[in-house]
Amino acid sequence: MNRIRGLYLFVSLLAFLGFTSPSFTSNALAKEKELVGAGATFPYPLYSKMFSEYYRVYKVKVNYQAIGSGGGIRQLRAKVVDFGASDAYLSDEELAKFPAPVLHIPITAGAVAISYNLPGNPSLRLTPEVLADIFLGKITRWDDPRIQQINLSTKLPPMKIIVVHRSDGSGTTFIFTDYLSKVSKEWAQRVGKGKAVKWPTGLGGKGNAGVAGLIKQLPGAIGYVELVYCLTNDMPFAAIKNKSGNFVLPSIESVTESANIELPDDMRVSLCDTSAPNGYPISGFTWILVYQDLSQGGLSEEKAQALADLLWWMTHEGQKYTKPLHFSPLSDTAKRKVEALLKKLTFKGKVLLQPESRP
């Protein structure tokens, strides 16, 4: 009996230790120095690198939870987090649901690559029309003349096409369906764009990893994955014909290039089907979302200042961490727009980043 009671005490102690572990107590005591954010999974590797560097230098802890864009937006609206992160910008309708104005600060740009699994994995070129028809289920075989026609140098195998898409809501899906909606009228009418859509055909995989896993496992598969996943995983990806008629492979440069276009002041812009001649057409920004007046988000003045400084750092000095992690840095045009946006950040009406104090 005593032994058993001892065991029970031990287990209770274990759980209790959890509650009072250093991370927990210091967390409660030093709440002022910690910023909390939640949202998109796609930039998570980059954000975790940036935040750990930032902590090393400035001793500001940033606790970021990659719970998905949808969750990030919901939690920012509920004022549970200090900032949200999303791969899709908010529509006017969604913005209207927020208690106060929200700013979109782009941090990096990403590309959605079209990956596939064919014998020998030859290089592949796709036009927007063919891509849309594959995902609409209208082209069902790899040796379809319409695919063969644009890939004259390769003999495509007589295999059925297996379409793979995301089964969970995701910013990646938003960028991809946004692109298809722009290039295909039929897609825009039948399916539309969104973080989760009603797919006409195919298999679903959970997360980028789930889609990539299915593509790797099923010969004849085609699917869309974040470029980072393809690069770190040696998966083949197709060159896509852009608006200017060039076949462009996704890369850090071609994605940055796609943002070299006329950008709106609020930075709520889709880079899909870019008019930049060497830009990869299926790309988009990923944003950090904050209340324009940070007091509206329930932040103290100290935290508001810390957050404004962090955002400035991420869009400037922090940009050097993008390329090594296969993310694309902001273009110069984009950077100038971001600076203007950041200077609009206020705390109870007081501007947080004084123009003269910044380069």
Partner 1 sequence: MSTRARRIKDRIFKATILSLSLLTLLPLLLILITIISKGYSAISLDFFTKLPTPPGDPGGGILNSIVGSLLLIAIAVVISVPTGVGLGLYLSETRGPWASLVEILINTLQGIPSIVVGILAYLWIVKPLGGFSALSGGVALAIIMLPTVARATQETLIRLPTSLKEAGLSLGASYTRTIWKVILPSAMPGILSGVLLGVARIAGETAPLLFTAFGNPYLNLNPLKPVDAVPLLVFNYAMSPYSDWHQKAWGASLVLMVFILGINITIRKGPWKRR
Partner 2 sequence: MDGDKAFRIGLNLTAFLFILFVGITFLSLIIASGPSIKAFGWKFVISTEWDPTAGKFGALPFLTGTLLTSFLALLMSTPLAFSLALFLGIYSRKGLRFAYILDYAVDLLAGIPSVIYGLWALFFLVPVVRWMEIKMNITPFGVGIFTASLVLAIMIIPYISSISKEMVAMVPQDLLEAGMALGATDWEVVKNIIVPYCLSGFYAGILLGLGRALGETMAVTMVIGNFNGMPKDLFSPGNTMASVIANEFAEAVGDLHLSSLIQIGLWLFLVNVIVNLVGQVIVRKVSIRR
Taking CB under 8 A as the criterion, the residue among 45, 122, 157, 204 binding partner 2 is 204
191 binds, among partner 1, partner 2, none (CB under 5 to 8 A by kind): partner 2
Instruction: Pick the piece of the chain touching partner 1 (CB under 8 A) from 149-157, 180-188, 207-215, 273-281.
Output: 207-215
Residue 37 to residue 317: CA distance in whole angstroms: 20
Find the Cα–Cα–Cα–Cα dihedral 47, 48, 52, 54, rounded to 10°: 10
Helix or strand holding residue 332 (H, E): helix 332-342
Between strands 203-205 and 162-166, the pairing is parallel
Kindly state the number of chain residues that form the binding site for partner 2, as judged by CB under 8 A: 32
Q: Quick check: 57 binds partner 1 (CB under 8 A)?
A: no
Helix or strand holding residue 203 (H, E): strand 203-205
Q: Quick check: 69 binds partner 2 (CB under 8 A)?
A: yes
Q: Quick check: 132 binds partner 2 (CB under 8 A)?
A: no
Between residues 201 and 305, which has the closer beta carbon with respect to partner 2?
201
Half-sphere exposure of 240 (CA within 13 A, CB side): 31
Residue 344 to residue 103: CA distance in whole angstroms: 9
* Beta pairing partners, 62: 35
Q: Diameter of the chain by CA atoms?
A: 80
Between residues 207 and 279, which has the closer beta carbon with respect to partner 1?
207
Interface mask toward partner 1 for 58-87; x: CB under 8 A: -------x-x-------x--x-xx------
Between residues 72 and 128, which has the closer beta carbon with respect to partner 1?
72
Cβ 84 vs Cβ 73: under 8 Å:
yes
3-state class of 115 per DSSP? strand
Which of 85, 153, 40, 82 has its CA nearest to residue 306? 82
Between residues 226 and 293, which has the closer beta carbon with respect to partner 1?
226
Cβ 162 vs Cβ 218: under 8 Å:
yes
Residue with tokens 């950008």: 263
Q: Quick check: 205 binds partner 1 (CB under 8 A)?
A: yes
Q: Quick check: 219 binds partner 2 (CB under 8 A)?
A: yes
Taking CB under 8 A as the criterion, the residue among 95, 196, 209, 231 binding partner 1 is 209
> Smallest distance, Å, CB 255 to partner 2?
24
Interface mask toward partner 1 for 4-23; x: CB under 8 A: x---x--xx-xx-xxx-x-x
Residue 357 to residue 351: CA distance in whole angstroms: 12
> Smallest distance, Å, CB 94 to partner 2?
9
* Cα torsion 314, 315, 321, 326: sign: positive
Residues near 298 by beta carbon (within 8 Å), at least 6 away in sequence: 79
218 binds, among partner 1, partner 2, none (CB under 5 to 8 A by kind): partner 2
Find the Cα–Cα–Cα–Cα dihedral 223, 325, 283, 248, rounded to 10°: -80
Taking CB under 8 A as the criterion, the residue among 76, 162, 183, 240 binding partner 2 is 162
23 binds, among partner 1, partner 2, none (CB under 5 to 8 A by kind): partner 1
Taking CB under 8 A as the criterion, the residue among 39, 106, 110, 210 binding partner 1 is 210
Binding site for partner 2 (CB under 8 A): 67-71, 160, 162, 167-170, 177, 191-199, 201-206, 214, 217-220
By CB under 8 A, name the binding residues for partner 1.
Answer: 1, 4, 8, 11-12, 14-15, 17-19, 21, 23-24, 27, 38, 65, 67, 75, 78, 80-81, 205-207, 209-210, 212-213, 215-216, 229, 232-233, 235
